[in-house]
């Protein structure tokens, strides 16, 4: 079964790269540009993993993470937070709020891919 990934980031370059990357690895990719859109997408169709940026306008990544975790139906959705703020506190807070992992920008795309595969496997064919 093809695993699906939702990329949530307001930064177009990041979105471009990640979307391309995920597609290349045979994941089913969707994109959202802010927190509200992300939650709407998740509601429409449940992703297997969310790549979630923290710094976004209106609803930040922590908010979205909290909202996802507040919904028991979404408990199997994996969340990897992406953040431009490297502070320890951010990482702790994210993990405390229920994120599965945390990557600081600037990141290596190779690393992102590795982490994504770690959580939702490499089942999508090669």
Partner 1 sequence: MLSGCMAAVLAGVFGGLIWAQIQAGSGHLTLLVLAGLLVLLACLAVIASLVHLGLAKPVAALERELELQVHGQSDQPVKLPPSHALGGLPAAVARLASGSADARREFAHKTEQATASLAEEKARLAAILLDLSEGVIVCNLQHRVLLYNQAAFRLLGAPAALGLGRSLFAVFAQDAVRHCLECLRERDPGDDACRASGQTPDGVIEFLCGLVEGSELFKLRMAPVSIEGPDIIAYVLTFMDQGDRAEALAARDRLLTHVTSDWRRPLAGLRAVIETLRDHPELGATKRDALERVIAEETIFLCEGFESLAQGYERAPGRAWQLAEIHSSDLLNSLRRRLSCANGPEVTVIGLPLWFRGDSHSLLLALDRLLNRLREHTGASRFDVEPLLSDRQVYLEIVWSGSAIPGALLARWLGEPITGAAAGASLRRILDLHGSDVWSQEKRAGWAYLRLPFAVPSHLPVVRPGVVLPARPEFYDFDLFEDRQLTRAAADQPLRRLDYVVFDSETTGLRPSAGDQVIALAGVRVVNGRILTGETFNCLIDPGRPIPPASVRFHAITDEMVAGRPPFEVALPQFKEFVGDAILVAHNAAFDMTFIKRQEEASGLKFENPVLDTLLLSAVLHDHESEHGLDAVAARFGIEISGRHSALGDAMATAAVLVRMLDLLEARGIVTLAQAIEASSRMTGLRKMQARF
Strand order in the sheet with 28-32: 28-32, 4-8, 49-53, 78-83, 101-104
Q: Which residue's CB is nearer to partner 1, number 27 or number 62? A: 62
Least gap, CB of 17 to partner 1 (angstroms): 12
Residue 89 as a binder of partner 1 (CB under 8 A): the answer is yes
Among 87, 109, 114, 122, binds partner 1 (CB under 8 A): 87
Q: Judged by CB, which is closer to partner 1: 113, or 124?
A: 113
How many residues touch partner 1 under the rule CB under 8 A: the total is 15
CB 41 within 8 A of CB 64: no
Tell me the C-alpha distance between 103 and 95, whole Å: 11
92 part of the interface to partner 1, by CB under 8 A:
yes
* C-alpha to C-alpha distance for 54 and 43, rounded to whole angstroms: 20
Q: Does 125 bind partner 1 (CB under 8 A)?
A: no
What residues between 57 and 76 interact with partner 1 by CB under 8 A? 59-60, 62-63, 66
Q: Whole-number minimum distance, CB 71 to partner 1, in Å?
A: 13
CA angle 66, 107, 83 (to 5 degrees): 25
């Amino acid at each position: 079964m093809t695993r699906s990934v939702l990329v949530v980031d307001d930064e177009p370059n990041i979105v471009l790269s990640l979307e391309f990357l995920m597609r290349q690895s045979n994941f089913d990719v969707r994109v959202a540009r802010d927190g509200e859109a992300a939650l709407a997408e998740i509601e429409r169709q449940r992703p297997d993993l969310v790549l979630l940026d923290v710094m976004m306008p209106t609803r930040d990544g922590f908010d979205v993470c909290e909202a996802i975790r507040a919904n028991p139906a979404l408990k199997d959705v994996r969340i990897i937070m992406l953040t431009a703020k490297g502070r320890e506190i951010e990482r702790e807070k994210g993990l405390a709020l229920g994120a599965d992992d945390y990557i600081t920008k600037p990141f290596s795309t190779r690393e992102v891919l590795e982490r994504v595969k770690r959580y939702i496997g490499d089942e999508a064919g090669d």
